Amino acid sequence: MFNAALMAEAKKYEIKVGVTTQYVAEQSDPAINRHVFSYTIEIRNTGNVSAQLISRHWIITDAEGQKQEVRGLGVVGHQPLLAPGQSFEYTSGCQLATPVGTMKGSYQMTAEDGTQFEAAIAEFVLSMPRILH
């Protein structure tokens, strides 16, 4: 049986995260195993209550399995408050010792009603051009 109230409650705290990546050749030096990547993130509140991004948690893994964990308040100095339907976009970067790696993580959010929840960031690939097919 379809229950509209349950569906609305399930969607109440919903954040979608989109990612695009780029290899930054002018800041990279493969001869010394320095590969710099930029990533642009769009955070969109697809739920039906306003929510503020409080902190972030990233797990960055290079091709040799070396992991870096990054935790901190906000993103690029901001803790955006997103009303339903609003989005926030920012660009940041990371450096790896290998030409390929991955990132995944989560944003810790607080809704206007005080509920805390996580917005998952699905794993995505960082890759130097022409390395992966």
Dump pLDDT digits (tens) for 83-122: 999 999 999 999 999 999 999 999 999 999 999 999 999 9
Amino acid at 44: R
Contacts of 76 (CB under 8 A, 6+ apart): 90, 91, 92
* Dist CA 130 CA 133 (whole Å): 7
pTM of structure: 0.88
Dump pLDDT digits (tens) for 45-79: 999 999 999 999 999 999 999 999 999 999 999 99
Within the chain, where are the H helices?
4-11
Contacts of 102 (CB under 8 A, 6+ apart): 60, 61, 123, 124, 125, 126
Residue 115, token pair as written in the block: 């509920």
CB 92 within 8 A of CB 37: no
